[in-house]
Amino acid sequence: MDFEIVNGAVASLETECLVIGVEEGAVLSPSAQALDQASQGYLSNLINNGDIKGKSAESLLLQKINGVAAKRILLVGLGKADERHDRNYKKVVKTISGAIKSLSLKEITIALDGLASKTPDTYRQVRHLVEWTTAELYQYDRTKSKKADVYAINKIAILLSDKDTEEGEGALVDGTAIANGMNVSRDLGNLPGNICTPTYLAGQAKELANEYDSITCEILDEDAMENLGMGSLLSVGHGSAEPSRLIIIKHNGGEPDAQPHVIVGKGVTFDTGGISLKPGAKMDEMKFDMCGAASVMGTMHAIAEMNLPINIIGVIAAAENMPGSKATKPGDIVTSMSGQTIEVLNTDAEGRLVLCDALTYVERFKPKTVVDIATLTGAVIGALGNSVCGLLSNDEELCSELSSAGDYADDRAWRLPLLDEYQELLDSNFADIANIGGPAGGAITAACFLSRFTKAYRWAHLDIAGTAWNSAGKEKGSTGRCVPLLSQYLLNQAADEMTDDE
């Protein structure tokens, strides 16, 4: 499916379906006014008859109209001007995508005149249209014997004025790359644990390196990790027949000596809880426990496709947590790569155990920033629900940059406190640190644990346990978050570094 920008008189556009907006109160948008004039008041008559009122995502499909070149017209309600936030815009996109599916359209032209969002930003509006439409048309059928019927759509055109065309075309490039990255992330997250193993993730990283000249990758096996002293990461996979892996993916877009930005993903490809076994209900969803790793992989795809002019390193700590005969037991003590010893009070708090060694490992890159992404705690869902990610950081500026990027990308994160008062909850009588801090403030104490391994650099943690997948009905599956947030953050970093070089 291709996206393109088109110009010209809206009434003269030849297309299978032309989408135009109607504002609440039955107010015609500029494109709708042009069609109304070309059709000698046809749309005005419809509105006067009350056929459409312009409420958000309301729609009315019209067949061929005299004076208009398009075969069909889809009127879409835009709602009230002061209520056109991202949630309403998504509803509009969902309505348009529904028409693409139900009408089996091969191509469609969208002319919303920049009115679908209350934010007057052509780049943002066009990019979101690309990302959200792609997400609505996503289908997973990798593990089904009967493959999904492929949607007929092969072109989506967006009408812009001449002066907005260049900005719109830039949005198409970035939006397509981010949408593709989200699809990569969703595919990985949706795969079952018997396919998407640590070895499989390593293979996907090698394929990415083969696809893009800017990408190189290195895979550390268990022997290499043992030589580095990664006793914490390795302890998680002891009960599994699947070997653990540390996956390093480098995008070499900047100067060779420029400090890289690093993103680190939790890649627990299936989490039974280990000896601290989880309840059976919904355990199937623990295939999603590698969605942090999927976010890293999807983001590396996106930034490679955009060819960002900075150095970025994606690191994936991959393991499978199983209750085998050699599994780590509650009360065991492991030694991390940093030298700190950890009392494992609960083997189901394993994400922090794989991440802490990865976070120590990335010190060697002398990173400019480090962001880890993990389905780390159920506690973050109790705190924030399923709409926003948890954000904790040891650096105010980095935290602000991530929060702003999330707002712009509509992939939001909300800051939680990372205070010393929570650190003492991790005290252990038998090791330097315990891997859990009790039921209170679980998302915070998990981040406090990670903070013990990130003192050498600017670091932030994104807890995506509430946002990485949907659990209900036909919507069940991976969401592809936080690919938009991370991509926007890295786009901003690239823009800032280019400005500094001028």
* Rg of the chain over all Cα atoms, to the nearest angstrom: 25
- Report how far apart, in Å, the C-alpha atoms of 374 and of each of 180, 267, 319, 452 are: 21, 8, 13, 17
CB 115 within 8 A of CB 78: yes
Question: Which of 84, 124, 127, 352 is labelled catalytic?
Answer: 352
The 10 Å Cβ neighbour count of residue 143 is 10
Distance between start and end Cα atoms, the chain:
37
HSE-up of 141 (CA within 13 Å, CB side)? 9
The conformation of residue 432, written as its DSSP 8-state character, comes to S
Measured over the CA atoms of residue 317, residue 203, residue 205 and residue 271, the dihedral's sign is negative
- H/E run at residue 488: helix 483-501
Measured CA to CA, the distance from residue 296 to residue 263 in angstroms comes to 7
Sign of the C-alpha dihedral computed for residues 28, 99, 479 and 492 taken in this order: negative
Tell which phi-psi region holds residue 57, choosing left (phi > 0), alpha (psi between -120 and 50) or beta.
Answer: left
Measured between alpha carbons, how far is 420 from 423 in angstroms, rounded to an integer?
A: 5
- Angle at the Cα of 273 (from 432 to 186), degrees rounded to 5? 110
Q: For this structure, is 80 an active site residue?
A: no
Give CA–CA dist 117/123, Å, rounded: 12
Measured CA to CA, the distance from residue 32 to residue 11 in angstroms comes to 9
Angle at 338 between CA 336 and CA 339, to 5 degrees: 70
Residues 388-411: b if buried by 16+ CB within 10 A, e if exposed: bbbbbbbbeebbebbbebbebbbb
User: Is beta strand 59-63 parallel, antiparallel or unpaired with respect to 27-28?
Assistant: unpaired
The secondary structure of 340-367 as a DSSP string is: -EEE-S-TT--HHHHHHHHHHHGGGG--
What is the rounded CA–CA span in Å between residue 93 and residue 116? 9
Assess whether 278 carries a catalytic annotation.
Answer: yes
**Residue 332 CB-density burial (10 A; 0-12 exposed, 13-18 middle, 19+ buried):** middle
SS3 category, 214: coil
Kindly list the distances between the CA atom of residue 383 and the CA atoms of 390, 398, 413, 463, in Å, as whole numbers in the listed order: 9, 22, 12, 11
d(CA 123, CA 408): 11
Annotated catalytic residue, options 53, 91, 101, 278: 278
Catalytic residue numbers, as ranges:
278, 352
